[in-house]
RNA sequence: CGGGGCAUAGCGCAGUCUGGUAGCGCACCUGGUUUGGGACCAGGGGGUCGCAAGUUCGAAUCUUGCUGCCCCGACCA
């Protein structure tokens, strides 16, 4: 009965992602005490120091285990919010054929940012900087009728744009992970609804990551109108100058009760009626006329998402036609919606850190709890830690256990650096009195509790 | 792509001007003392000084070329 044996073997494996390997003594977390010279901004420095990434070429990074965990968390939040809004996940390749791009006319117009490659047959290929052509191609082959609309297809895939000057770590890398969604509708009114769904979905996704993202009017290119927004996180190190009504900053995102089938216009107008623009779209006169002086906020921001409607820009040249109710073929109305997944790590750190290190919002933290054994080798302390580790892990709490034979100070500062939301500190002195210490990274608040109370607090 | 800078041990740097065969701090290894906020003592390992050519008795150091990385600008999720 080989199947049974296999099942039994599988049952003995630890649950996904959580095992004894999450002991720091056999994990892979190369932290740095000093700042690498090449890192200029705080998020880049902290990501290097916290052992999250290492640069392999200009603007190209390897994701070390800690960084990889955060990347996956962010990716998952984006995925859940896309799915909730009715988008459908697929996965397109990173390498594309030049032919498609010739059809859309972008092969020549895209310029040197596009990384062009030849295969062994000297066929022209490219490493995709985006996927409008490819998704349109996939769509046009299969969808012929308005009855199959609307559809919104997305993937989360690595992109490459050969930036002239990559900088700021993962905020402006050449290779980056991006979620890009593409909507297909019969007419512009329907396309507007698709756009609105993404708008709401973005507000929710960023909010779940602990970010205050502000939608700002963006350039719509040849189409015009109000159908393009950038989602901006305010940060000193942001690349663009932004202007908006202060009210927008703390406006809460739509909650779980949001109904994507209902009319979303009021929710969106609540935001778009207030002034918000990046420097390219900024109109100083309008800003002063529309926004009371006290509410005028001019700051710097990081673009973490961009949504836009572009109508038939690709469907027409690529021949993505569907039959309407009248039986006549029309090009589909399309929109595309990007989120810079890898860039978000930098953005979150820019928005959430202090002089000691990163402060992860719980939803994207690589682990929820850092368990600190203050005296590895001490039988009682080891036993207490092992028990806490097992209990928490069993309850589904992600724990990174620092069981190394290091001094207390090194463990404290290391944990502060990597920024896990909670530090559970266990030492012989406390155990003698039946207590452990729980420190909240964000506030620095510490409290002494019984192990049971600490577990309850972390599990609850 | 234009302007500027840097390249010496895993990280941060000195040594280059004035050529004589490589050093400091952190990290790492061994032993000991320590142990509640990045310890101390002693010993030790690790470098074709980015690459190539040239000048010279001799090059990390001078010359030329190349490469990589960083900063400022134009461009972008």
Q: Count CB neighbours of A203 within 10 A.
A: 24
Q: How large a percentage of chain A has pLDDT more than 90?
A: 80
Say which residue, A184 or A1, is predicted with more confidence: A184
Residue nearest to nucleotide B1 (CA to C1'): A164
What φ, ψ does residue A245 adopt, rounded to 5°? Answer: -80, 125
What φ, ψ does residue A88 adopt, rounded to 5°? Answer: -120, 130
A354 touches strand B (CB under 7 A): no
Residue nearest to nucleotide B36 (CA to C1'): A408
Long-range contacts of A188-193, Cβ-Cβ distance < 8 Å, separation of 24 or more:
A188/A309, A188/A311, A188/A333, A190/A149, A190/A150, A190/A333, A191/A309, A191/A311, A191/A333, A191/A334, A191/A335, A192/A227, A192/A309, A193/A150, A193/A264
Long-range contacts of A60-66, Cβ-Cβ distance < 8 Å, separation of 24 or more:
A60/A173, A60/A174, A60/A175, A61/A169, A61/A170, A61/A173, A61/A175, A64/A28, A64/A29, A64/A30, A65/A27, A65/A28, A65/A29, A66/A29, A66/A366, A66/A418
From the alpha carbon of A342, which nucleotide's C1' atom is closest?
A: B77
From the alpha carbon of A130, which nucleotide's C1' atom is closest?
A: B77
A240 touches strand B (CB under 7 A): yes
Residue among A59, A69, A143, A155 at smallest CA distance from A318 = A143
Q: How confident is residue A8, by pLDDT bands cut at 50, 70 and 90?
A: very low
The reported pLDDT for the residue numbered A88 is: 98
Task: Specify the pTM.
Answer: 0.94
**Chain A, 103-142: which CBs lie within 7 Å of strand B?**
113
A340 touches strand B (CB under 7 A): yes
Q: Residues A335, A310: contact at Cβ < 8 Å? A: yes
Distance, Å, A57 CA → B19 C1': 35
Q: How far is CA A354 from CA A133, A145, A208, A303, A320, in A?
A: 43, 55, 21, 22, 50
Name residue A372's beta-bridge partners.
Answer: A402, A425
Span A127-135, average pLDDT: 94
Residue among A87, A122, A121, A128 at smallest CA distance from A106 = A128
**Greatest Cα-to-Cα distance within chain A, rounded to the nearest angstrom:** 82
- Pairwise CA distance, residues A256 & A259, whole Å: 8
From the alpha carbon of A338, which nucleotide's C1' atom is closest?
A: B77
Q: How confident is residue A334, by pLDDT bands cut at 50, 70 and 90?
A: very high
A338 touches strand B (CB under 7 A): yes
Distance, Å, A174 CA → B2 C1': 21
Q: Cβ-count burial of A118 within 10 angstroms (0-12 exposed, 13-18 middle, 19+ buried)? A: exposed
Span A60-65, average pLDDT: 93
**Chain A, 64-83: which CBs lie within 7 Å of strand B?**
none
Quick: pLDDT tens for A263-311.
999 999 999 999 999 888 888 999 999 999 999 999 999 999 999 999 9
**Chain A, 364-383: which CBs lie within 7 Å of strand B?**
374-375
Q: Residues A349, A47: contact at Cβ < 8 Å? A: yes
The reported pLDDT for the residue numbered A57 is: 87
- A364's CB contacts (< 8 A; 6+ apart) are A70, A73, A74, A77, A209, A210, A348
Q: How confident is residue A82, by pLDDT bands cut at 50, 70 and 90?
A: very high
Distance, Å, A257 CA → B70 C1': 48
- A130's CB contacts (< 8 A; 6+ apart) are A159, A178, A180, A336, A338
Least confident of A41-50, A159-168, A342-351: A159-168
A417 touches strand B (CB under 7 A): yes
The reported pLDDT for the residue numbered A19 is: 52
From the alpha carbon of A55, which nucleotide's C1' atom is closest?
A: B69
**Chain A, 17-36: which CBs lie within 7 Å of strand B?**
31-36
**H/E/C letters for each residue in A207-261?**
HHCCCCEEEEECCCCCCCCCCEEEEEEECCCCCEEEEEEHHHCCCCCCCCCCCCC
Distance, Å, A437 CA → B46 C1': 41
- A178's CB contacts (< 8 A; 6+ apart) are A130, A156, A157, A158, A159, A338, A339, A340, A341, A342
Tell me if ipTM is over 0.90: yes
Span A50-60, average pLDDT: 91
The per-residue b/e assignment along A245-255, b for 16 or more CB within 10 angstroms, e otherwise, is bebbeeeebbe
From the alpha carbon of A176, which nucleotide's C1' atom is closest?
A: B77
Span A403-412, average pLDDT: 94
A238 touches strand B (CB under 7 A): no
From the alpha carbon of A171, which nucleotide's C1' atom is closest?
A: B77
């Amino acid at each position: 009965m080989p199947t049974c044996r296999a099942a039994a073997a599988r049952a003995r494996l630890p649950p996904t992602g959580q095992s004894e390997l999450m002991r720091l003594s056999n994990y892979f977390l190369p932290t740095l005490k000093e700042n690498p010279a090449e890192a200029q901004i705080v998020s880049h420095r902290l990501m290097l120091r916290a052992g999250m990434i290492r640069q392999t070429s200009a603007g190209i990074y390897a994701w070390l285990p800690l960084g990889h965990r955060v990347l996956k968390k962010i990716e998952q939040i984006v995925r859940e919010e896309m799915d909730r809004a009715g988008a459908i996940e697929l996965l397109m390749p990173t390498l594309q054929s030049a032919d498609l791009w010739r059809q859309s006319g972008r092969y020549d117009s895209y310029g040197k940012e596009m990384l062009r490659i030849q295969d062994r047959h000297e066929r022209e290929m490219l490493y995709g900087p985006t996927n409008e052509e490819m998704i349109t191609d996939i769509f046009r082959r299969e969808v012929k009728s308005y009855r199959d609309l609307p559809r919104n297809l997305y993937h989360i895939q690595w992109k490459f744009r050969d930036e002239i000057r990559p900088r700021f770590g993962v905020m402006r890398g050449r290779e980056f992970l991006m979620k890009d969604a593409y909507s297909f509708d019969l007419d512009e009114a329907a396309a507007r609804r698709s756009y609105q769904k993404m708008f709401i979905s973005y507000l929710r996704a960023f909010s779940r990551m602990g970010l205050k993202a502000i939608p700002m009017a963006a350039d719509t290119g040849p189409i015009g109108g109000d159908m393009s927004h950038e989602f901006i996180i305010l940060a000193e190190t942001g690349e663009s100058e932004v202007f908006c009504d202060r009210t927008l900053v703390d406006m809460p995102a739509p909650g779980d009760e949001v109904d994507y089938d209902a009319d979303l216009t009021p929710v969106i107008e609540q935001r778009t009626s207030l002034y918000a623009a990046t420097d390219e779209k900024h109109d100083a006169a309008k800003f002063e006329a529309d926004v009371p002086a006290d509410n005028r906020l001019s700051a710097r921001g990081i673009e973490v998402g961009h949504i836009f409607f572009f109508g038939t820009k690709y469907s027409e040249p690529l021949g993505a036609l569907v039959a309407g109710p009248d039986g006549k073929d029309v090009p589909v109305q399309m929109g595309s919606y990007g989120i810079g997944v890898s860039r978000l790590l930098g953005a979150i750190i820019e928005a959430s850190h202090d002089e000691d290190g990163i402060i992860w919002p719980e939803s994207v933290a690589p682990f929820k709890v850092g368990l600190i054994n203050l005296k590895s080798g001490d039988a009682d302390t080891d036993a207490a830690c092992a028990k806490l580790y097992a209990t928490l892990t069993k309850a589904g709490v992600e724990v990174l256990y620092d069981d190394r034979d290091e001094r207390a100070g090194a463990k404290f500062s290391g944990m502060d650096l990597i920024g896990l939301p909670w530090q559970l500190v266990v030492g012989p002195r406390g155990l003698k009195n039946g207590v452990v210490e729980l420190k909240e990274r964000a506030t620095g608040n510490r409290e002494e509790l019984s192990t049971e109370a600490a577990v309850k607090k972390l599990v609850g």
